[in-house]
Amino acid sequence: MATINNNLSEYDKASIPNAKDFRFGIVVSEWNDNITEGLYKGAYETLVEHNVLPENITRWDVPGSFELIYGCKKMQQKNVDAVIAIGSVIQGETKHFDFVCEGVSQGIKDLNVLHDIPVIFCVLTDNTEQQGIERSGGIHGNKGTEAAVAAIKMAVLNKK
Ligand SMILES: Nc1c(NC[C@H](O)[C@H](O)[C@H](O)CO)[nH]c(=O)[nH]c1=O
Ligand SMILES: CC(=O)[C@@H](O)COP(=O)(O)O
C-alpha cells in the first residue's frame, strides 16, 4: 500500500513490546537535514514513548546517505540491540540518485545479512523535497516513527 493511503505514524501502540531494556543506535545523514532531523525526531520520540531510556539511545552523524553503510557497520559493533539508518535522498539532474539509493539499500541489506544486529532502513528516496517533508512529520506522517517501531520489534525477535 502506498504511503499516501497509509499514514506512517499510525499503528497499534498496545501491540508494541515494552522496550525499556533495549539499547538503540541511530545513524543520521547530514544531507537534507531539514528532512533527516524530522525523521530522527520521530524515531527518538517513538523509542522513548515505548520506555527506551534516553541514555540507551546513541546518535552518530555521517555526511551523506552513502556513509550510512559504514556508520551502521560501526554502530553494530557497539552494545546496541538494533540500529536505525536515517537518510534522505532526493532526485537531482543526474543518475547519481540511482546509484546512491541502490548502494545504500544494498549496503544496509548486506549489514543485516553479515552481522547479527538488525539495521532498519529509514532512508527516504524521493522525487522532490516536498515528498520528503511530507514523510518526515508532515501530512503523510513520519517514517522515523515507523522505523523505531520496526527497530523495537526486531530487537525483540533477536532475543528469541
Ligand atoms: N544527493 C544526495 C546525497 N549525496 C551524497 C552521498 O550520499 C555521499 O555522501 C557522497 O556521494 C560521498 O560519498 N546524499 C544524500 O543523503 N542525499 C542526497 O540527496
Ligand atoms: C542524490 C544525489 O546525489 C543528487 O541529489 C545530486 O544531484 P545531481 O544529480 O543534480 O548532481
Domains of the chain: which residue ranges?
A: 27-157
pLDDT in tens, 36-64: 999 999 999 999 999 999 999 999 999 99
Indicate which atom in ligand 1 lies nearest the CA of residue 104. Answer: 7
From ligand 1's centre to the CA of 123, what distance in Å? 12
Tell me what the pLDDT averaged over the chain comes to. 96
**Is residue 115 among the annotated active site residues?**
no
Residues 6+ apart with CB under 8 A from 68: 27, 29, 62, 85, 86, 87, 104, 107, 108, 123
Reported ipTM exceeds the 0.85 cut: yes
Closest ligand 1 atom number to CA of residue 62: 9
In testing the pocket of ligand 1, which one of 28, 30, 31, 72 has its CB within 8 Å of the most ligand atoms?
Answer: 31
Residue 148, C-alpha cell as written in the block: 523505531
Residue 2 contacts by C-beta under 8 Å, 6 or more apart in sequence?
none
CATH 2.130.10.10 matches 27-157: no
